[in-house]
């Protein structure tokens, strides 16, 4: 496939990800719909992703921000607890 597309490094291409995207869905990365699949089982693989699903990463920026906030609060509380125990 890489040779047919005339990639310059076709000999180094080992894995290809094939995705189909439904362009009739909204372009909102926070949309929870990842796949545009009807309830019947007549859709062939690869399944059609929504545009929101195509934009989804494993960890989105707001997930990193939430995790940093949680670790910051936990660290602050543990520091306060350690100082309170040392004073008393």
pLDDT digits over 60-87, tens only?
A: 888 899 999 999 999 999 999 999 998 6
Measured in Å, how far apart are the chain's first and last C-alpha atoms? 70
**In the predicted model, is pLDDT for residue 10 greater than 80?**
no
For residue 17, which of 39, 49, 60, 59 has the smallest C-alpha distance?
Answer: 49
Tokens found for residue 26: 């909204």
**Tens-place pLDDT, residues 18-35:** 677 888 888 887 777 787
Spell out the domain ranges in the chain.
Answer: 1-56, 58-88
**Tens-place pLDDT, residues 35-60:** 777 777 777 777 788 888 777 777 88
């Amino acid at each position: 496939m890489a040779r047919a597309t005339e990639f310059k490094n076709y000999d180094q291409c080992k894995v290809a990800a094939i995705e189909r995207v439904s362009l009739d869905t909204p372009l909102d990365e926070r949309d929870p719909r990842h796949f545009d699949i009807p309830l019947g089982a007549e859709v062939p693989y690869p399944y059609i992703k929504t545009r929101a699903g195509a934009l989804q990463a494993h960890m989105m920026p707001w997930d990193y921000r939430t995790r940093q906030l949680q670790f910051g609060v936990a660290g602050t509380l543990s520091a306060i607890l350690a100082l309170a125990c040392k004073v008393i």
